[in-house]
A and B are shown apart, each in its own frame.
Chain A
Amino acid sequence: MSDPAPIAGDFLSLLAAHQVPPVRGDVSLSAPIQTQATTVFAFHFADGILMAGDRRATAGNVIVTDRVDKVIEIDAASLLAIAGVPATAFEMARVLQTSFEYYRRSQLQPLSLPAKVRALARLLRENLPMTMQGVGVVMPLFAGLDHATTPARAKIYFYDPLGAQFHAVGYAASGSGSGTIRSILSFQERHGEPKPSEMKLPHAVQFALRLLMVASEFDSATGGVNPETRTFATIKVLRAGGVEAIEAEQQAEFLRA
């Protein structure tokens, strides 16, 4: 019997046909000290979704680097924020980037948002053996444009390590500093003025940077923001028109305002 042909537009089945497995790790009894990355969040602001993350990666009590970009543009209509082990998370991002573009180019239409959300869930499920061992755990956030509505609506999703996906109405956060972030976002959404969903971009960026500053006070694995050392966050916004990165210079300007 011959192997089945790859499913049209499905990059993972193309990889399987060529025996190139994506995210896969061997079972090991002793887990190494893992590099981890923490505190990412996303919330709705007036024009769309803002997704942000600190830039610190740690291994145990060691700071590996303060220059990690944890918010990744997957394609022109979707963003991924990674929390967990970067080795697995970055590979998941690469699989998604190639898969979404492969589908769009080969099928001459973009993948729908539900299919994108499930594609990430599928990768998380395939990572289950690693997750069960406590090695390579990833708890990402995903934001995408839903073109089923006009104009396209940006939506936020969060996942558990087993791959369950949840639609976040207002905001979501992940990583070791996420508890602090969620508390502040919840308070601001209920009692704040303006609410995050009413903020214009400069205010939303300033708010995001301050969130990270507070989170880093309570969580040593969160890098935080320090204008004096030019340490800022990775911030990307998703609007109906697409993705825009908010660079460090712009962040500094909004933080000063």
Chain B
Amino acid sequence: MTEEPYRWLEAIENRREYVREQIKSGSPVFAASLPDGILLLGVGTGNSKVFELFDRHALAGLGHPADMEKIRQAAIDAAHLEAFTRAPEDVSLRRLVSFGLSPQLKTHFEQIFSAPFLVELLLAEVAAEPGHDLLFRLHFDGAFQYETQGIVLAAGLPDPEKAAHEWLRRNAAGKTEKRDLVDLLLQAWWCLIESKSFSENPPTEDERRAGWRAAVNGKVVEIGWLARKSPRLARFEMLTLAQIGL
């Protein structure tokens, strides 16, 4: 009986295990704040990992495609309604996540007789100046953290995600060119999907580079770019590896 508190806790824990089991092999996604904008990266099938949400906002995620689509659509609906009823400048990622997406995810996760969302998400908002960007890490249970600079990532399991985050924090220092950063993110992506260690006997740089080159064969490297300065309102564009010189 789920009305009993310990049963409910057990049921929630079971759901957490179920969700993690379902998405543990998902292809990780990344977002990085650079001087000229925010770069989002995922490896998928095209239009499957990285998406434009609004003028200055984008989403990257892993998980079940149907759940990703529901979240993406909810975010786009909310952003455009806000822009129309107020102004495009009033669309804020902080409000979108904390008052919109996060409560929805938490409610779905805790309603134990309905299916939870099988997603792990990154959301980004580019600001006028570097250091004021918003990079949100939104979890399947509605919990979220955010940073205003640096790199964030979403992977299927928390420990490898944390290890990759620390490795990227160390290795991305000073990298401001898209080409260098995408190369590094794809190295981290390859280590994560191949379950390589980031600390004990990690692969060499050449191995990592050769690894991601081979692993993306037949897949689409989805690179989203939110430009910090642009004459157009819509700052988002999709880039290819060739466009950034890789």
Which A residues lie at the B interface, using CB under 8 A? 11, 14-15, 18, 20, 75-76, 94-95, 98, 101-102, 105-106, 108, 245
Contact = CB atoms under 8 A, between A and B. Distances in A.
B99 interface: no
B2 to A, nearest CB: 28
A75 B80 CA distance: 15
Contacts, number: 35
Given A76-B232, A76-B234, A105 B53 contact: yes
A102 B83 CA distance: 11
A75 B55 CA distance: 12
Contacts of A76: 232, 234
Given A14-B77, A75-B234, A106-B73, 8 more contacts: A11-B80, A15-B81, A18-B81, A76-B234, A94-B84, A98-B83, A105-B52, A245-B231
Q: Is the interface of A mostly helix, strand, loop or mixed?
A: helix
B142 to A, nearest CB: 23
Interface of B: 47, 51-54, 73, 76-77, 80-81, 83-85, 231-232, 234
B50 to A, nearest CB: 11
6 contacts: A11-B84, A14-B81, A15-B81, A75-B234, A98-B83, A106-B73
A98 to B, nearest CB: 5
B232 to A, nearest CB: 7
A224 to B, nearest CB: 27
B80 A101 contact: yes
Contacts of B85: 20
Contacts of A14: 77, 80-81
A102 B234 contact: no
Nearest to B52: A105
A224 B10 CA distance: 75
Contacts of B76: 102, 105-106
Nearest to A20: B85
Contacts of A95: 84
B241 to A, nearest CB: 20
In the A-B complex, list the 5 residue pairs whose CB atoms are closest, starting with the nearest: A102-B80, A98-B84, A106-B76, A108-B47, A105-B52
Contacts of B81: 14-15, 18, 20
A39 to B, nearest CB: 26
Centre residue among B80, B83, B231 by max chain A CB count within 10 A: B80
A94 B87 CA distance: 10
A245 B73 CA distance: 32
A172 B183 CA distance: 51
A228 to B, nearest CB: 28
A194 to B, nearest CB: 30
A245 B232 CA distance: 11
B234 A98 contact: no
A94 B84 CA distance: 8
Contact of B84 (A15, A105, A108, A245): A15
B171 to A, nearest CB: 33
A98 B78 CA distance: 12
A106 B78 CA distance: 12
Centre residue among B51, B81, B84, B232 by max chain A CB count within 10 A: B84
B140 to A, nearest CB: 22
Contacts of B232: 76
A101 B234 CA distance: 9
A239 to B, nearest CB: 15
A98 B84 CA distance: 7
